[in-house]
Amino acid sequence: MVKKSNEAPPDVPSRGDWRHYEPVKLSPILTHALEAFYEHGFHGTTVRDIARRVGVTVPALYYHHENKEAVLVALLETATNDVIWRADAAAGEGGDDPEARLANVVEAVVLHMTHRVRLAALDSELRYLQPDNRRHYAATRKKLETLLTEIIEDGVDRGVFAVTLPAETARALLGMCQAIAKWYHDGGPLRPEEIAGRYVDIALTTVGVRGPASRTGLGHPGGASPVG
Amino acid sequence: MVKKSNEAPPDVPSRGDWRHYEPVKLSPILTHALEAFYEHGFHGTTVRDIARRVGVTVPALYYHHENKEAVLVALLETATNDVIWRADAAAGEGGDDPEARLANVVEAVVLHMTHRVRLAALDSELRYLQPDNRRHYAATRKKLETLLTEIIEDGVDRGVFAVTLPAETARALLGMCQAIAKWYHDGGPLRPEEIAGRYVDIALTTVGVRGPASRTGLGHPGGASPVG
């Protein structure tokens, strides 16, 4: 079970509509660090680089964050909190319907990967964290995988989804969504909402909700004659 | 169309069984650079670090590679050649059968992502390349996406697959496979072949080959009564 907390996480001032995105609210240090990490990677950015972008001294930066890794951790915390409350809210809005819950969660994750692409791209820096921090984030990210696995298992139990490997399917679907941060950029041909719509469609096919019969009017695979 | 060349790419001495993996053959410089990039990232590694690992001087290293980016490019070239010839061979082995072709290509990509996880993980460094190099690799990787898209379109044309968005599905499936490099490590609980088997299963469900009826004996989604 994904445990829901009633306390708003520190970095997310309001938990409104999970589909609605405002520019992310970060301190000046985190804002500039995020840009620097996005452009040059965590390892390609020095504390001095960040301080220079912010316009503060290095000691001033250390006053707020213990070291560069602590800056990354603060950003990852923001990213994780953001995607998790949205995914939880999205699942909740789906009520008792596994298809709606799955569709909403995939939509929420894709909207996060696109609207928050700079934060989402930090994901690839995770493996450079110290073991303790890495474990913490692995556990937090696991919540998302667990949420999706439970939705899929529920759909299978009810005979709505046809999936033999719910946990692997959940992980694969998340991987599919997370890979978006590798190619998505603001100003690309597709808007976040369009990408989300397409990935929801693919996810529903993946769990077997949308089979040949329901979409194209064809019979089962073997029954149709070659067209092309 | 993916153009097949009869010339073996420079870094792949023999093109045997696409399922068979030997330890990757790299020069000492590339071997040590790969380990360094895997541990600390491209930006976290200096040319001096690589030279020290190899046991050569920095000028000696520059004799072989123009700069650090050229080292990364050589490794990416190896990775890309490896996955592309295997995927092509895998598709070829599937003959004229879209299901076998898709299953083989997904298997080939997952085997690459696991057996060659260090090379595969370089993928996240792509966005730090200079524009020219980045464009070159984007084009090469596109070949894989094109191969998969064509297989899916062929399956749809023949009424074997039920997919409304072949190109997006191909990209999503590749994203799903590429995300494996983020969590896979040698010595984990699942062997590459087992992971590949599971992802093939998920991919076939994604294109609608394995629907509820074909696997569980249940009727269509709406027809089954809740079990859980």
Dihedral sign for Cα atoms in the order A32, A35, A38, A43? negative
Which tokens hold the place of A16? 């409104």
Encoded tokens for B98? 């879209």
The stretch A16-41 carries a mean pLDDT of 92
Query: Cβ–Cβ of B221/A160 closer than 8 Å?
Result: yes
> Identity (one letter) of the amino acid at B194?
E
CB-CB under 8 Å, A175 with B176: yes
What is the DSSP secondary-structure string of B188-212? Answer: SSS-HHHHHHHHHHHHHHHTTSS-H
Spell out a b/e string for A51-79, using b for 16 or more CB atoms within 10 Å of the CB, else e. bebbebeeeebeeebeebeebbbbbbbbb
Query: Torsions phi, psi of A182, nearest 5?
Result: -80, -30
Beta carbons of B182 and A127 less than 8 Å apart: yes
For residues A73-101, average pLDDT: 95
For A102-145, the pLDDT digits (tens) are 999 999 999 999 999 999 999 888 877 888 888 888 888 899 99
B122-125 long-range contacts, Cβ below 8 Å, gap at least 24? B122/B34, B122/B37, B122/B42, B122/B72, B122/B75, B122/B76, B122/B79, B123/A182, B123/B79, B123/B178, B123/B181, B124/A124, B124/A182, B125/A41, B125/B37, B125/B41, B125/B42, B125/B72
Q: How many DSSP H helices and E strands does chain B contain?
A: 11, 0
pLDDT (0 to 100) of residue B120: 92
Residue of B nearest to A45 (CA): B43
pLDDT bucket at A14, cuts 50 / 70 / 90: low
CB contact under 8 A, B44 and A160: no
Calpha distance B28→B49 (Å, rounded): 13
* Separation CA A74–CA A84 (nearest Å): 15
**How many residues in total does chain B contain?**
228
pLDDT at B185: 86
B127: which chain A residues are within 8 Å (Cβ-Cβ)?
182
Tokens 């030997």 belong to B22
Q: Long-range contacts of range A24-29, CB-CB < 8 Å, 24 or more positions apart?
A: A24/A78, A24/A82, A24/A116, A24/A119, A26/A75, A26/A78, A27/A64, A28/A54, A29/A54, A29/A56, A29/A61, A29/A64, A29/A65, A29/A71
Mean pLDDT, chain B, integer? 85
CA B88 vs CA B1, B17, B108, B166: distances in Å: 11, 12, 9, 19
Task: Tell me what percent of the residues of chain A surpass a pLDDT of 90.
Answer: 61
Of B42, B159, B176, the CB nearest to A226: B159
pTM, rounded to two decimals: 0.81
Smallest Cα distance from B20 to chain A, Å: 24
- pLDDT, residue A139, reads 84
* Mean pLDDT over the full length of chain A: 85
Residues of B in contact with A42 (CB under 8 A): 41, 43-44
Residue A110 or B216, more confident: A110
Look up tokens 């909402």; give the residue.
A193
**Taking 80 as the threshold, does the pLDDT of residue B213 lie above it?**
no
The reply to whether ipTM tops 0.90 is no
Measured between CA atoms, how close is A21 to chain B, in angstroms?
A: 24
